[in-house]
Amino acid sequence: MIKNYILIGPPGSGKGTQAKKLTEQFHLLHLSTGSIFRQLAQHDNNLKELITSGNLVPDTQVVDLISKYIRNNIITVKKTGILLDGFPRTLTQAKNMSKIFVMEGITINVVYIMTLNYDESINRLLGRRVCTMCGANYKQSNNIIKCTYCNNILSKRSDDQVNIIKNRFQIYEKQTKPLIEYYDNQSNIDVIYINGSKDENDVFNQITKHL
Ligand code: AP5
CA angle 56, 84, 9 (to 5 degrees): 60
Pocket of ligand 1 contains residue 158 by CB under 6 Å:
no
Cβ proximity of 33 and 86 under 8 Å: yes
Give the pLDDT of residue 136: 86
Looking at residue 111, what is its pLDDT?
A: 98
Does the beta carbon of 49 lie inside 6 Å of ligand 1? Answer: no
How many angstroms separate the alpha carbon of residue 105 from the centre of ligand 1? Answer: 29
pLDDT of residue 132: 86
User: pTM value?
Assistant: 0.96
pLDDT recorded at residue 135: 82
Which parts of the chain sit beneath pLDDT 50? none
If you take atom 20 of ligand 1, which residue's CA is the nearest one? 34
Task: Domain 5-116+169-208: give its CATH superfamily.
Answer: P-loop containing nucleotide triphosphate hydrolases (3.40.50.300)
Distance 126 CA to ligand 1 centre (A): 12
| Confidence (pLDDT) at 134 | 84
Predicted pLDDT at 133: 86
User: Per-domain residue ranges for the chain?
Assistant: 5-116+169-208
Q: Judge if the beta carbon of residue 16 lies within 6 A of ligand 1.
A: yes
> Would you say the CB of residue 206 lies under 6 angstroms from ligand 1?
no
Ligand 1 nearest atom to the CA of residue 87, by list position: 34
Summarised one tens digit per residue, pLDDT across range 33-88 is: 999 999 999 999 999 999 999 999 999 999 999 999 999 999 999 999 999 999 99
Predicted pLDDT of residue 19: 95
Cα four-point dihedral sign 197, 7, 160, 142? positive
